[in-house]
Chain A
């Protein structure tokens, strides 16, 4: 009897050692996941895709019925908007041509604004709610790499954390911490732009924390749009991140912190665009650029 007790204790101790080892191994900064992990993720992702497609089709039908009810009202509003857009489109076209011409004369053809979009669908969400991540159905096969920005039509939702062959996991903005900073800006028409960094997500107030590094003369107002600035070298410029809600001095009183509300509802993401930044010349600075403070 005593022998059996000892054996159990022994197994438990080995279990705890293995547990600590595994956690330590997975918490360290790993560049790539092991092939086994990627294989398992792909297999599960494939099965999830299999289930997700018909189910989302059915829920889509119900949603469509819901949408039809509002169609008339929406149509009215949209028609008005289209009239506005037409003139705007013309302006944009002109500006684009102007821009291209000026760039040509400068012989500077690459811009931090440009990117290649890769369309993808969200197939599952992490069931562990501490970890804010979703899985999308595109992987390295489709050209997805680590740290690419992920956005929807409304704005940025996160970045690619670990790509495997056919699926990849995306870290949502709500899960960002001090290791995943985004250099951001608030663009002003006349004064200097406001520059700063999105430093993470505050769970208590449900807002992104935007530390302002370079202030403008004019004070921040509620509702101003925060965009990515493209300075960090990872994300392209001009991705919409969120709207300013409130500005507070930080705990040392040296800089100020703006609370930014993300534009996208993180619980309602279906189709996303993975953004591949066009930047052939300084690939070496990628990856660690965002982490510097």
Chain B
């Protein structure tokens, strides 16, 4: 039963992402600065750093699954979020082998991960012609606000979930050999 908790949290984040944008005050959404919520990815960063062991890849697997769901529900162009979430989650998971997991490493990896995810998604969108973007405008109007907003969300999630994720890891992954094929 406890194993379902993480997918449930991810699903909830996915659902709230869209509702929040509808309910947020209008003045926040208008104007030149645009921020995109990557709450699912922020949680994936925490999963990759605190939940996954060296030989398990739950964060990558959830990245594939919930990235695909984001694609279906919010964009209609399959594969974009799926691939970028999973790929960057894999990278972050790889980095945790080099660095010891603590607060600053989490923030650093989260920020770098978000920058890469954003650029990756927009690269694909601009190649496929969904978005017309001038890179200079994009950096100022979109990338910076997006990364700041999502790092703020990471700061909120960090104290809530870090200890729990480590506990769940000890409980659930001690004998698990699934998802370590990658």
Chain A residues with a Cβ under 8 A of chain B: 8, 11, 15-16, 18-23, 25-27, 37, 40-41, 44, 47-48, 51-52, 55-56, 59, 122-131, 133-135, 161-162, 169, 203, 265, 267-268
B54 CB-CB contact with A under 8 Å = no
Q: Please encode chain B, from 114 to 148, with 1 for each CB lying within 8 Å of some chain A CB and 0 for all others.
A: 00000001101100101110000000001000000
Q: Can you name 8 A-B residue pairings with CB atoms under 8 Å?
A: A26-B79, A126-B21, A129-B34, A129-B35, A133-B74, A134-B22, A162-B76, A203-B132
Question: How far is it, in angstroms, between the C-alpha of A55 and the C-alpha of B19 when the chains are bound?
Answer: 9
Q: Which of A15, A18, A127 contacts B17 (CB under 8 A)?
A: A127
Question: How far is it, in angstroms, between the C-alpha of A70 and the C-alpha of B98 when the chains are bound?
Answer: 60
Give the nearest-CB partner of A4 in chain B.
Answer: B182
Interchain CB contact under 8 A, B79 and A18 = yes
Give the nearest-CB partner of A22 in chain B.
Answer: B79
Question: How far is it, in angstroms, between the C-alpha of A25 and the C-alpha of B69 when the chains are bound?
Answer: 16
Q: Which of B18, B34, B36, B80 contacts A23 (CB under 8 A)?
A: B80
The 9 closest A-B pairs by CB, nearest first: A124-B18, A22-B79, A125-B21, A22-B78, A130-B131, A127-B17, A126-B74, A26-B78, A19-B83
Question: How far is it, in angstroms, between the C-alpha of A41 and the C-alpha of B21 when the chains are bound?
Answer: 17
Question: How far is it, in angstroms, between the C-alpha of A131 and the C-alpha of B121 when the chains are bound?
Answer: 12
Interchain CB contact under 8 A, B18 and A126 = yes
Interchain CB contact under 8 A, A23 and B19 = no
Give the nearest-CB partner of A169 in chain B.
Answer: B76
Question: How far is it, in angstroms, between the C-alpha of A15 and the C-alpha of B11 when the chains are bound?
Answer: 23
Interchain CB contact under 8 A, B128 and A23 = yes
Chain B nearest CB: distance from A22 CB in Å?
Answer: 3
Q: Give 18 A-B pairs besides A26-B71, A56-B23 with Cβ atoms closer than 8 angstroms.
A: A11-B182, A15-B83, A19-B80, A22-B78, A37-B72, A40-B73, A47-B11, A48-B15, A51-B15, A51-B19, A125-B21, A127-B18, A128-B36, A128-B121, A130-B125, A133-B76, A161-B76, A265-B26
Interchain CB contact under 8 A, B29 and A48 = no
Decide: A124 near B80, CB < 8 A? Known: A23-B128, A44-B73, A130-B130.
Answer: no
Give the nearest-CB partner of A16 in chain B.
Answer: B83
Question: How far is it, in angstroms, between the C-alpha of A122 and the C-alpha of B86 when the chains are bound?
Answer: 30
Give the nearest-CB partner of B18 in chain A.
Answer: A124
B30 CB-CB contact with A under 8 Å = yes
Chain B nearest CB: distance from A5 CB in Å?
Answer: 13
Q: Which of B11, B12, B30 contacts A267 (CB under 8 A)?
A: B30
Interchain CB contact under 8 A, A123 and B34 = no
Give the nearest-CB partner of A175 in chain B.
Answer: B130
B111 CB-CB contact with A under 8 Å = no
Question: How far is it, in angstroms, between the C-alpha of A103 and the C-alpha of B29 when the chains are bound?
Answer: 47
Q: Chain B residues near A203: list those with CB within 8 A.
A: 132
Q: Chain B residues near A265: list those with CB within 8 A.
A: 26
Q: Which of B36, B73, B82, B132 contacts A41 (CB under 8 A)?
A: B73
B87 CB-CB contact with A under 8 Å = yes
Q: Chain B residues near A11: list those with CB within 8 A.
A: 182
Give the nearest-CB partner of A58 in chain B.
Answer: B23
Question: How far is it, in angstroms, between the C-alpha of A124 and the C-alpha of B18 when the chains are bound?
Answer: 5
Q: Chain A residues near B176: list those with CB within 8 A.
A: none
Q: Chain B residues near A52: list those with CB within 8 A.
A: 19, 22-23
